[in-house]
Each structure stands twice: as C-alpha cells, then as structure tokens.
Chain A
Amino acid sequence: MAELSDRELLANMATGDAAALRELYARLADRVYNTAISHVQVAAEAEEITQDVFTKVWRNAAGFNGDSQVSTWVYRITVNTALTALKKRQRRTFFGALTQANDPPDFQHPNALLEEAEQHRALFAAIYQLPDRQKTAFILSFVEELPRQEVAEVMSTSLKSVESLLMRAKQGLRVALRTEHPYRGKTKQQ
C-alpha cells in the first residue's frame, strides 16, 4: 500500500481515523517534543505540550486549510502552546517567588553526550533567557534546523524579520555565554 501524505493523514483524522493519528504521531512527535522541550526545558511540561498539540491537531484536522505544509502547521501549534505554557509558568513563579521569575530551570538535554553536557546546559540556559520571538526563531533555526523560510511561515512573519530576530538572538547568547562561564579558557586572577 502506498504511503499516505501528511495531508491525506490529516483528512483521514478529520473522519475519526485513529490509525491516521498514530501514523502522523510517528512522523512528527519527535519534532513536536524537541521543540517543546527546547522552549520550556522541563520534560514533564514538554510531554503535556506534546499531548496538547496532538489533541488540537486531532480536533482541528477538518479545519486545516492547506495553505502551508502540515508540519509547518503543527510546528505553529507547538510554538504557540509552548509559549502559552511559559507565560503561565512566569505568572506562577511571579506570585510564588518574585526573585526567581526569570531563572532558567536546571535543564540537561536528554540526548547530550557527557563530554558536551556542560556546554549544552549553558547554551540552553542562555536560550531560555531570550525574549519569546528570538527564542522561537533560534530554536526552529538551530535546534530544529528548519530552513529560514519555513521558520518565517511558522512564526507568521517575513524572512527579513526572522533574520533580524536571529541576529539579535545570537548577540544575546554571546553575552549570556560570556557571563555564564567568565573564567573558562583563562587563568583566574588570584
């Protein structure tokens, strides 16, 4: 049997075909989960977001208008859901502990090699501190390695705007990485 396209799977999901959901999940779950965990940096929240995203895809399959790729549409839902989760967390931490409102979680990417673990930890902590749109542009471009044009489509913006966001994100990351490890690569003054 010929493999169905993502659009055909979505059309089948609209008729209540659970097998189509399983197939689409097999194709996109890693991308959704990886995008979510890169944003929120807490595994349990990333799982909740992944669950939310596929539930939304299932319930809105009939409403997909087909003006973009299915994966672009799913990425858009993922990013919006992840940013909403981050806003909720910021509100919670604001009321819970005023001083820790913007502190990144102690996150270690589950697939980081041991010898690179510290470098990834520092980078993800720096990514967490970026403003939302810069964070999304950076994650989609460098963690998910999407082409810039697709990043622009996911974020509903122009290619120029994505490039500008990435430039500012890199500037922010340079500063954050410098302050994260001030003594790396040089002898500490006594």
Chain B
Amino acid sequence: MPNLEKNKLEDALEHLKRLPRATPPPELLARIEAGLTMPAAKVIPLGEWRKIVAAALVILSLNATAMAYYLSSQATDTPRTEYAETKLISDYQLYY
C-alpha cells in the first residue's frame, strides 16, 4: 500500500514535468501599462490604524463615561425635582 501511494505521487510528478507553463492572456500587458499611469494607492500602515482605533476608543469611552454620569444624575435629580414641585404646589395651596 505505501508503495502504491508513493507511485501515485511519483506518477503525478512525472506528468507535472510535461505540463507546459500557463500563459497570461495577451491583453494583460496593456492593462498593466494602463495601470502604471494611475497614481499608486496610499497604503495606511498597520501602526497608523492602531493609533486611529485607539483614539476612537478613547473618545467613545469618554462619551460613555459622560453619558453614564448624566444618566445617573438624571436618576437622582428627578425625585428631588418632583419633591420641590409638590412642595411648591402645597405651599401655594396654603396661601390660597
């Protein structure tokens, strides 16, 4: 069995030796020459991307902190405001 496997590979390699190289389509050179006149695409290095992502994360976390602070203060403020309003109304009723 191992010999059969070995022969199969050796056989495939023998066929490979007779396989001519694949050739690109004739119009490819024209496409390459046309592409050379275009400016090279600017590649942003990975390090730059990391800095951009880090900056975005800082901004997001600051916003999240501010949002959390705002929401928690809203939660504590609301009853106090309601209390003040009730007091004002009841005071008003006293003088009515």
Chain A positions within 8 Å of B, measured between CB atoms, are 18, 21-22, 25, 29-34, 37, 46-47, 50-51, 54-55, 58-59, 109-112, 116, 119-120, 122-123, 142-145, 170, 173-175, 177-178, 184-185
Contacts and interface: CB of A to CB of B under 8 A. Distances in A.
A47 to B, nearest CB: 6
Contacts of A120: 12, 15-16, 19
A51 B21 contact: no
A18 B33 contact: yes
Contact of B5 (A109, A145, A178): A178
A25 B32 contact: yes
Contacts, number: 91
8 contacts: A21-B33, A29-B23, A31-B21, A33-B21, A110-B23, A111-B20, A111-B21, A116-B18
Interface string B19-46: 1111111001101110110001000000
B22 A54 contact: no
Contacts of B80: none
Counting chain B CB atoms within 10 Å of each CB, the highest count among A29, A31, A32 belongs to A29
A142 B13 contact: yes
B24 A29 contact: yes
A119 B32 contact: no
A54 B19 contact: no
A50 B24 contact: yes
A131 to B, nearest CB: 17
Interface string B69-96: 0000000000000000000000000000
Nearest to B6: A174
B12 A123 contact: yes
B19 A51 contact: no
B31 A142 contact: no
Contacts of A175: 5
A76 B59 CA distance: 42
Given A25-B29, A119-B11, A173-B9, A109 B35 contact: no
Nearest to B36: A58
Contacts of B33: 18, 21-22
Nearest to B15: A116
Given A18-B33, A51-B31, A123-B12, A30 B19 contact: no
